[in-house]
């Protein structure tokens, strides 16, 4: 038996047209960029899971460590009978830790952009947690979507935003997203959010420049995706992977770098690339705890408690409306 995935109409109106629009727009501007959400097709989501296994890539491991260590304390804060809504659920490893500790959760709503990935994880969860109601929603959570209601009135809704996905958004957008989540919430509802902390630049930069080249493959998957889905003719061998810490902006930036002067066509459009010209494909912001707390406070979230690992690499913060 498979759990039926609720597809958000806005996700499916015309995904190819939306992808094309965003790519054309991003490549037409003076500093070229492509939204990082397009990494996560089926292949990209699988490569991302491989990144999480890398020695150099600490965030996933450390976040899991925090969740395992403080699982009891965290779920005690959330209380019983919660409706748990997870943003960018991916493979739901951290969610399992929450679900193992939560008392009588009413409903679990994983929200993810990759339908295949979502269906697989929802099925696996439904099998392992037979008493849990699961209502997966395939949606782009940066756009409006409807959160399914549980059969019983929950004591509170808790939005779970793990994986430092919030770091992918420019600061103004991150605040905007926190505001939108707050708008969907009632007073007393919670937000449990994981974000990556500022740290030694070498540690940060090696996490995005692994020796095995998995992150490079993740980055270049975007080129393959544009070729197969938009009929573009990028030559992936002619683009390099570049990731560095932008200290002033407090973020890792990931780019695809043109290895020579070249011309690429997408649909009827053609784009000229200079040698060394880049396409920015991702921001990954690193915050301090107080910086994040202040950002959230501006849009109505009150920080209740923050849990960190021993090295202070990563933070899991619980806030209430
Ligand atoms: C999934 C947003 C947490 O920013 O670290 C991993 C994605 N990009 N390696 C991150 C990513 C390159 C990632 N997040």
Pocket test for ligand 1, best of 55, 114, 168, 281 (most atoms within 8 A of CB): 168
Point out the ligand 1 atom lying closest to the alpha carbon of residue 283: 4
* Secondary structure in 3-state letters for the chain: CCCCCEECHHHHCCHHHHHHHHHHHHHHCCCCECCHHHHCCHHHHHHHHHHCCCCCCCHHHHHHHHHHHHHHHHHHHHCCCEEEEEECCCCCHHHHHHHHHCCCCCEEEEEECCHHHHHHHHHHHHHHCCCCCECCEECCCCCCCCCCCCCCCCCEEEEEECCCHHHHCCHHHHHHHHHHHHHHCCCCCEEEEEEEECCCHHHHHHHCCCCCCHHHHHHHHHHHHHHHHHCCCCCHHHEEEEEEEECCCCEEEEEEEECCCEEEEECCEEEEECCCCEEEEEEEECECHHHHHHHHHCCCCEEEEEEECCCCCEEEEEEEC
Q: Which pLDDT value is given to residue 121?
A: 83
168 lines ligand 1 (CB under 6 A): yes
**Between 45 and 317, the higher pLDDT residue:** 317
Point out the ligand 1 atom lying closest to the alpha carbon of residue 252: 4
45 lines ligand 1 (CB under 6 A): no
264 lines ligand 1 (CB under 6 A): no
51 lines ligand 1 (CB under 6 A): yes
pTM: 0.92
Residue 119's pLDDT band (cuts 50, 70, 90)? confident
Per-residue pLDDT for 90 more than 90?
no
Q: Which pLDDT value is given to residue 321?
A: 96
**Ligand 1 center–CA 241 separation, angstroms:** 14
Residue nearest ligand 1's atom 5 by CA: 284
Per-residue pLDDT for 1 more than 50?
no
157 lines ligand 1 (CB under 6 A): no
Point out the ligand 1 atom lying closest to the alpha carbon of residue 219: 12
**Ligand 1 center–CA 22 separation, angstroms:** 20
36 lines ligand 1 (CB under 6 A): no
Lowest mean pLDDT among 86-90, 109-113, 137-141, 144-148: 86-90
**Ligand 1 center–CA 188 separation, angstroms:** 30
């Amino acid at each position: 038996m498979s759990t039926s995935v609720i597809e958000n109409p806005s996700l499916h109106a015309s995904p190819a047209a939306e992808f094309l629009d965003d790519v054309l727009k991003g490549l037409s501007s003076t500093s070229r960029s492509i939204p990082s959400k397009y990494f996560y097709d089926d292949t990209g989501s699988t490569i991302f899971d491989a990144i999480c296994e890398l020695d150099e890539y600490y965030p996933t491991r450390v976040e899991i460590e925090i969740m395992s260590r403080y699982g009891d304390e965290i779920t005690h804060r959330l209380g019983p009978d919660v409706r748990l809504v997870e943003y960018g659920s991916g493979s739901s490893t951290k969610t399992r830790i929450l679900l193992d500790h939560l008392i009588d959760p009413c409903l679990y709503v994983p929200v993810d952009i990759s339908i295949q990935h979502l269906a697989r994880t929802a099925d696996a969860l439904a099998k392992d947690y037979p008493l849990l109601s699961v209502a997966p929603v395939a949606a782009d959570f940066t756009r409006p979507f409807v959160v399914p209601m549980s059969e019983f009135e929950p004591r509170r809704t808790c939005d779970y935003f793990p994986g430092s996905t919030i770091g992918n958004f420019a600061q103004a957008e991150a605040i905007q997203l926190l505001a939108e989540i707050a708008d969907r919430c009632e007073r007393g509802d919670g937000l449990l959010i994981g974000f990556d902390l500022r740290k030694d630049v070498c540690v940060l930069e090696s996490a995005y420049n692994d020796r095995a080249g998995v992150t490079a493959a993740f980055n270049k998957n975007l080129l393959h995706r544009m070729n197969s889905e938009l009929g573009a003719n990028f030559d992936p061998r002619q683009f390099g992977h570049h990731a560095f810490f932008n200290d002033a902006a407090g973020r890792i930036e990931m780019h695809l770098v043109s290895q020579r002067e070249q011309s690429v066509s997408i649909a009827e459009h053609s784009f000229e690339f200079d040698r060394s010209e880049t396409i920015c494909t991702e921001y990954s912001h690193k915050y301090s705890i107080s910086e994040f707390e202040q950002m959230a406070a501006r849009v109505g979230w009150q920080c209740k408690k923050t849990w960190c690992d021993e090295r202070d690499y990563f933070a899991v913060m619980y806030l209430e409306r």
